[in-house]
Amino acid sequence: VSRVNQLDADLLDADLVETIKEHWTEGLRYFKSTLKDKIEPEITAVFHLIVYGLTVGGTKGATYGAQLQNLRYRDEFSHHKDRYHTRNPNLSHTQKIAYGALLVGGQYFWTRLNRLMISKGWADHPDHTWRQRMWRIVQLVDKWYHTLTLINFVAFLYSGRYKSLLNRLLGMRLVYSRPQMQSQISYEYLNRQMVWYAFT
């Protein structure tokens, strides 16, 4: 599977969420000036949850960006159980739930936790306090996560499999929805993106 197609799918998904979120948050400017920043993590989580529920969490088995690139997720664990690797099984119910919980819930929890620690000045507490220890643990986990993400990305560039650490952990691999069309170059996704921007 083309690495470019997989990365383009990610960019399209990010653009879609940002475009939708931008118009909703624009309405918040008429309220208290700090309201938008205060509830920004909740707004982001809600839109990610909606997009997830309508795509990967539903019957599609792929995000909107992946669909535009003729891609869908395959249950790689079940695929490897097939002796001849002839099956392309859809994601299991467990994979879908875990993906949604970690992608949406994980991002929201991590953002909120960091905001709390920064606003309360946990980094400035004395070394022997539990808040300072928790701050150091969170920073260490964050550093390890970014290191593993970089390693996974290098592995992805080499093998073309598992574009994210979460995909690798859950055995979710992007494959072509219609393999017979994989060699055709389609600009349909660009046309749709232009339509999105024209309407917005």
> What token pair was written down for 26?
């624009």
Q: What is the pLDDT of residue 102?
A: 94
For residues 65 and 63, give the distance between their C-alpha atoms in angstroms, rounded to a whole number: 5
**pLDDT tens, 86-138?**
667 889 899 999 999 999 999 999 999 999 999 988 888 888 889 999 999 99
Contact 89, 95 (CB under 8 A): no
Q: What is the pLDDT of residue 134?
A: 92
Cα 172 → chain centroid: 12
Q: What percent of the chain has pLDDT over 70?
A: 85
**pLDDT tens, 147-160?**
999 999 999 999 99
CA distances from 16 to 58, 114, 143, 179 (A): 18, 26, 28, 26
For residues 199 and 16, give the distance between their C-alpha atoms in angstroms, rounded to a whole number: 13
Q: What is the pLDDT of residue 186?
A: 55
> What token pair was written down for 190?
């660009």
Lowest mean pLDDT among 13-17, 139-143, 180-184: 180-184
pLDDT at 4 over 70: yes
Confidence of residue 80 (pLDDT cuts 50, 70, 90): confident
The candidate with the shortest Cα–Cα distance to 189, out of 48, 2, 11, is 11
Q: Kindly state the average pLDDT of the residues 12-37.
A: 77
Confidence of residue 183 (pLDDT cuts 50, 70, 90): very low
Q: What percent of the chain has pLDDT over 90?
A: 38
pLDDT at 25 over 60: yes
Contact 12, 64 (CB under 8 A): yes
Contact 73, 161 (CB under 8 A): no
For residues 65 and 55, give the distance between their C-alpha atoms in angstroms, rounded to a whole number: 10
> What token pair was written down for 37?
């920043």
pLDDT at 171 over 50: yes
